[in-house]
A and B are shown apart, each in its own frame.
Chain A
Amino acid sequence: MRRLTSGVAFAALYGLLIFLWWLIAYLNRGAGSPFVGPVQLVRAVWDQWPVLQPSLAATAEEAALGFAAGVCLAVVLSLVTIRFRYLGTLIGRLALVLYSLPLIAIAPLLVIWFGAGLVTKVTIAALASFFLVLVNFSTALVSTDRQALEMMEVIGAPFMTVSVRVRIPYALPSLFASFRAAAPAAVIGATVAEWVGANQGLGITILSAMQSYSIPLLWSSIFVVSLLSLVSYGFFAVLGRKLFPWHESNATSGA
């Protein structure tokens, strides 16, 4: 019942926003207007789909590969922190320094090193997602409930058993929560990486649409990028809820 009313409220809110959007576009209509209304946008996506589809595929691939690489590295380094706390802090600090560098600034450097190929985009996407996963997962791994750990100690469980049976399972919901933030970050990373050189991708369609002043293509590219981000978020949100129904963040449906 509560869910139903909140669903209605959300629908009403979105309806209002779309109406306002339509209104702004309608008031600014005319040839060469930088505004595109909702109906026009849908039509533009439909019309531009032959261009958008391969771009979407390219960006999605870069983002997915980068995300996978970033996650793998972050997970391995986080697991190291269980055993070697001090090393973990050190890795965390280094990762922070890396994360504080603006991606748009490292991208040209990577192009010089690796060329404008797939490696550069994957690396940027990996960097964008790596830190979020590392921080969340390594923190969760070392903040296991003290009594749960003592319970394992009392039954004489060796280190590996404690890690596999208690520490890691307790930290998995946090890992998946970090995926929800890291996956869109990888999409943005891949898009940004394309700006410094690529043959195709949504970053490229955005750039070329801007240069040729093709407003419908520009808007539809932005639309598809954000859709990709949202879908990647939603995927991990749903997966997290399915896998960890016992976790309090999944007890009531929030986002």
Chain B
Amino acid sequence: MISTPAPLSQSETAGGAITVDSLGMTFDLGKQSLTALAGISLEMKHGEFCSFIGPSGCGKSTLLRLIAGLIEPSVGTVRVDGEDAATARQKRKFGFVFQDAVLLPWRTVIENIELPMIVAHVPKQERRQKAKDLLDLVGLADFAQVAPAKLSGGMARRVAIARSLVLDPSILLLDEPFGSLDEITRQRMNVELQRIWAAERCTAVLVTHNVGEAVFLSDRVIVLGARPGRIIAERIIDLPRPRTLEMIGEPRFFEHTRQLSGVLLSGAVVGAESDA
């Protein structure tokens, strides 16, 4: 579908799990057009946990959709393990946790988790077992037969995470998965997400508004600026793993969040003048 990008062949062999090259996305809005993303280039290693933070509307969700091959970029390319994004999606390499939990309300919790396996024709026996294991992993073993409407917001998120893991994705994409939760629940969920990510050994891409969350979870935080959405800064988070909630109070944690908040603020105010 996408024209094969000749210049990228060497990074394909370099084994980057995700390679994004001068990516741009412009939406056609009839009379005018809206450039949501421009000139995004980055490389993500296998097993890396990478976060994007940026102001609302800067194109974070769009970027995740592009990486998952749900939409086609206007310019540039996305390669996943050397293949184009749509091909990787068809091979079920992605787990995607959407901004809303989007559990199907007529299916029980365990049936929701089984759905991807039904679509992928996994045998019934294996399906049940796997779903149970994942419910264990997200700490909801007792809620298998419950209807999604009966779950709290945080529990629904955990089910959504379990569902996204069920086909053993090599890349986990998370779009503000804990966006609407209170701070304490969010921190608890962050600890769980870190544990799940470590257990599954997948590459993770997290989109969030919350600087603390990004620092807590990530190996690397990328700051996006708005209009058009572009990378304005990048910061390696070298805190030891596993990270604990006690670390949040430490000066080195605070230093990361302070620096990132500063960039975020300047990016939101200054706009296009920041570094390229």
Contact = CB atoms under 8 A, between A and B. Distances in A.
A104 to B, nearest CB: 41
Given A150-B65, A169-B106, A155 B116 contact: yes
A7 B106 CA distance: 29
Given A147-B98, A155-B167, A156-B120, A169 B104 contact: yes
Interface residues of B, number: 25
B90 interface: yes
Interface in B91-135: 91-92, 94-96, 98-100, 102, 104-106, 115-116, 119-120
Contacts of B104: 148, 165-166, 169
A195 to B, nearest CB: 43
Contacts of A12: none
Interface in B150-190: 167
B233 interface: no
Contact of B119 (A145, A161, A169): A161
B45 interface: no
Interface string A128-170: 0000000000000000010110111111110001000110010
Contacts of B232: none
A151 B98 contact: yes
A247 interface: yes
B147 interface: yes
Chain A interface, DSSP helix/strand/loop, else mixed: helix
Nearest to A155: B116
Contacts of B70: 150, 153-154
Chain B interface, DSSP helix/strand/loop, else mixed: loop
Interface string A236-247: 000000001011
Interchain residue pairs A-B with the least CB separation, the first 6: A246-B105, A155-B116, A147-B98, A154-B96, A157-B119, A147-B102
A140 to B, nearest CB: 15
Interface string B31-66: 000000000000000000000000000000000010
A145 B102 CA distance: 8
Contacts of A152: 119
B70 to A, nearest CB: 5
Q: Which of A152, A156, A166 has the most CB of B within 10 A?
A: A156
A145 B103 CA distance: 11
B99 to A, nearest CB: 7
A42 to B, nearest CB: 43
Contacts of B106: 169, 244, 246
Given A161-B119, A246-B149, A151 B96 contact: yes
B82 to A, nearest CB: 19
A166 B119 CA distance: 12
A71 B65 CA distance: 38
